[in-house]
Amino acid sequence: MPEKTETRRGRPGYDQQAILEVAVAVFNEHGYEATSMGMLAERLGLSKAAIYHHISSKEQLLALALDHALDSLESVLDDSRDQGDAVARLSFLLRGAVHVLVRELPSVTLLLRLRGNSEVERAALARRRTFDKAVTQMVVEAQRDGSIRSDIAPGVAERLLFGMVNSIAEWYSPEGAEAADRLATDLLTVAFDGLRAAPETPST
């Protein structure tokens, strides 16, 4: 992956972050490969030369966006290591991942749609695989200590858990009523307790 570059001071009214936010939105709308610098310039109301004053290439915009999403997820993973037993760490991680997805919805959506067609994409996918392996290990540890059932392969359990998290990107609306913490609580309830109602206690 190309080295990260420092944010450049740009022309008044524009900065690299503002351009990045628009670029991510356009990448998600049209696909990274189908997006041209001309399309970005039109959306921004800038000339291509003005955009190049802030960034070196379309690839750099992709790298910055993916780094942002992955850095946020990896930060939650790092913080989860101090949360107690395996199931507590796993719960903390899932809750944090939901918060990251809601807070960074455009960049995480871009990450989830990668195809691996460029060096930048392949490097991001490699980081994501490392993340997934760390989560799978949490599942293994939770199974070993009896916190969660052990009749499901750890890798399958990890994919199912993060399948639920990742699916939020397809339907969640930032304008919706679902607060991130409530959404995370609902996901954890389904993940660890299921949807089946608890049996009623017979009256005496």
Q: What is the CATH number of the domain that holds 158?
A: 1.10.357.10
In a domain, 44, yes or no: no
| Residue 79 maps to a domain | yes
The answer to whether position 55 is within a domain reads: no
CA distances from 52 to 17, 60, 88 (A): 13, 11, 46
pLDDT of residue 131: 98
Using pLDDT thresholds of 50, 70 and 90, give the confidence band for residue 173.
confident
Q: What is the pLDDT of residue 11?
A: 43
Structural domain span for residue 172: 64-192
- Tell me if 17 is assigned to some domain: no
Residue 79 has a pLDDT of 97
Indicate whether this model's pTM tops 0.75: yes
Overall domain count for the chain = 1
Q: Does 116 map to a domain? A: yes
| Residue 115 within a domain | yes
At 54-86, the pLDDT tens digits run 999 999 999 999 999 999 999 999 999 999 999
Would residue 4 count as lying in a domain? no
Query: Does a structural domain hold residue 32?
Result: no
